[in-house]
């Protein structure tokens, strides 16, 4: 298939591009390079620097390329920032996303894999979380992704759009060539590894009074290559059926912030000092996925099951790229 990947220079998007190319798909890679890195985009994919919200330019991209499907990953993704700047999240994740949808339909492209999130669930009342669990986001980031999911439902009904939303839990780890490089870095595992590299003095732990066994938040870490492979399976699924639903992507096992830090100490062999601080706004205490639906319907099976191997892959990449893509 000829696939447009938005957010193609981002952490997950660049690895989706890499996997699609491995599977012999043709890829057009699009990114505004606000957060992404040009160096992260596989050289086999033609690269276009553009905004998903720019109607004219985006229309030209569809006109110039015989696209058959879109993997839409371009987004604003920081939970905490979304609490103080919600407009940025609704504008990019919802309004600009709708421009992409309208452009797709104008050029008769009706297959979409959408990068959604566990943040749509809010504070879950049962663990592991199934897709049928009520969605009640507690931050504008999750809300914007959920609103876009709802737009997809109605576009499916009204215009025959075929889509799959992949609700990622906590993406982590690295491929051989590509890894996580955000500025500022807000995610736990890269921040822990920066301390191991000696680039920061300590890890700040946000909240030790959550209702969990050790008081820190519990998350389900899933390897970024496993997430990328799910996109390929989702695209295959879209070719054979009118899917139009959401699938969770996680390992089904939760680790607390302290457990992540302890595992990182084991992987790196370095003592990693911590400083405890108050809770970060918008953080749900526990998010752990049931991914049974993705397994039974998409045929997805995560290869990286252990937190240790996930952190090990991130550590290898971070040691090789001590300043991310800037070297
Ligand atoms: N944390 C720290 N110190 C840090 C960074 C994070 O204590 O330096 C804590 C956070 O407070 C949270 C946990 O570690 O409790 C995980 O935080 P991340 O920032 O790594 O990830 P989030 O769970 O906040 O968010 C990630 C993605 C979202 C997605 C969510 C789904 O960034 O896009 O996972 O689970 F919605």
| pLDDT for res 222 | 98
Q: Does residue 263 share a domain with residue 280?
A: yes
Q: Annotated active-site positions, please? A: 141
Cβ neighbours of residue 201 closer than 8 Å, sequence gap 6 or more: 195, 273
Closest CA to ligand 1's atom 15: 217
Q: Does residue 110 share a domain with residue 88?
A: yes
Q: Does residue 137 share a domain with residue 285?
A: no
Compute the distance between CA of residue 65 and CA of residue 47 in angstroms, rounded to an integer.
Answer: 12
Mean pLDDT over residues 322-326, rounded? 90
- Angle formed by the axes of helices 97-106 and 140-159, to 10°? 20
Instruction: Pick the closest to residue 270 from 187, 177, 214, 203 (CA basis).
Output: 203
Asked if residue 265 is part of any domain, the answer here is yes
Give the other-Cβ count within 10 Å of 166's Cβ: 24
Asked if the model's pLDDT at residue 318 lies above 90, the reply is yes
Report the CATH number that the domain containing residue 264 is assigned in CATH.
3.90.25.10
Asked if residue 183 is part of any domain, the answer here is no
pLDDT digits (tens, 9 = 90+) for 86-104: 999 999 999 999 999 999 9
Asked if the model's pLDDT at residue 327 lies above 70, the reply is no
Q: What is the DSSP letter of 61?
A: H
Q: Does residue 114 share a domain with residue 197?
A: no
Q: What pTM was estimated for this model as a whole?
A: 0.97
Provide the domain count of the chain: 2
Quick one: pLDDT band at residue 292, thresholds 50, 70, 90? Answer: very high
110 Cα to the center of ligand 1, angstroms: 33
Compute the distance between CA of residue 249 and CA of residue 117 in angstroms, rounded to an integer.
Answer: 9
Asked if residue 178 is part of any domain, the answer here is no
Asked if residue 300 is part of any domain, the answer here is yes
CA 4 to chain centre: 17
Asked if residue 263 is part of any domain, the answer here is yes
Q: Does residue 206 share a domain with residue 127?
A: no
Hey, which of 262, 280, 284, 307 would you mutate to test ligand 1's pocket, going by the most ligand atoms within 8 Å of its Cβ? 280
284 Cα to the center of ligand 1, angstroms: 9
Quick one: pLDDT band at residue 241, thresholds 50, 70, 90? Answer: confident
Asked if residue 276 is part of any domain, the answer here is yes
pLDDT digits (tens, 9 = 90+) for 263-289: 999 999 999 999 999 999 889 999 999
H-run or E-run covering 320: helix 307-320
Q: Does residue 47 share a domain with residue 89?
A: yes
Q: Domain range holding 317? A: 188-219+252-289+296-326
Asked if the model's pLDDT at residue 242 lies above 80, the reply is no
Q: Does residue 156 share a domain with residue 57?
A: yes
Asked if residue 181 is part of any domain, the answer here is no
Q: Does residue 114 share a domain with residue 65?
A: yes
Q: Does residue 244 share a domain with residue 143?
A: yes
Pocket around ligand 1: residues whose beta carbon is below 6 Å from it? 77, 79, 117-119, 169-170, 186-188, 191, 203-206, 217, 219, 257, 280, 283, 287
pLDDT digits (tens, 9 = 90+) for 303-315: 999 999 999 999 9
Q: Does residue 229 share a domain with residue 211?
A: no
268 Cα to the center of ligand 1, angstroms: 21
pLDDT digits (tens, 9 = 90+) for 122-166: 999 999 999 999 999 999 999 999 999 999 999 999 999 999 999
Asked if residue 179 is part of any domain, the answer here is no
């Amino acid at each position: 298939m000829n696939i447009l990947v938005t957010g193609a220079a981002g952490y997950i998007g660049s690895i989706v591009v890499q996997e699609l190319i491995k599977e012999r798909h043709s890829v057009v890679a699009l990114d505004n390079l606000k957060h992404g890195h040009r160096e992260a985009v596989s050289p086999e994919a033609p690269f276009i620097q553009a905004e998903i919200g720019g109607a004219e330019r985006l229309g030209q991209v569809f006109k110039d390329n015989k696209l058959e499907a879109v993997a839409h990953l371009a987004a604003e993704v920081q939970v905490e920032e979304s609490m103080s700047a919600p407009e940025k999240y609704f504008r990019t994740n919802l309004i600009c996303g709708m421009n992409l949808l309208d452009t797709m339909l104008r050029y008769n492209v009706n297959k979409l894999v959408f990068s959604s999130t566990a943040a749509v669930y809010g504070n879950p009342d049962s663990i592991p979380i199934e897709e049928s669990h009520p969605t009640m986001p507690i931050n504008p980031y999750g809300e914007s992704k959920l609103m876009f999911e709802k737009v997809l439902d109605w576009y499916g009904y009204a215009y025959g759009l075929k889509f799959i939303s992949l609700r990622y839990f906590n993406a982590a780890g690295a491929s051989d060539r590509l890894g996580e490089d955000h500025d500022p870095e807000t995610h736990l595992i890269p921040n822990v590894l920066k301390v191991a590299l000696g680039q920061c003095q300590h890890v700040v732990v946000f909240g030790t009074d959550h209702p969990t066994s050790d008081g820190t938040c519990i998350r389900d870490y899933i390897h970024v290559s496993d997430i990328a492979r799910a996109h390929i399976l989702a695209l295959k699924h879209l070719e054979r059926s009118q899917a139009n639903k959401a699938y969770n992507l996680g390992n089904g096992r939760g680790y607390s912030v302290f457990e992540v830090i302890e595992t990182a100490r084991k992987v790196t062999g370095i003592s990693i000092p911590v400083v405890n601080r108050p809770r970060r706004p918008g953080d749900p205490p526990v998010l752990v996925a049931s991914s049974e639906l993705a397994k039974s319907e998409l045929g997805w099976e995560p290869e990286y099951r252990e937190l240790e191997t996930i952190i090990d892959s991130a550590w290898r990449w971070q040691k090789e790229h001590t300043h991310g893509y800037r070297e």
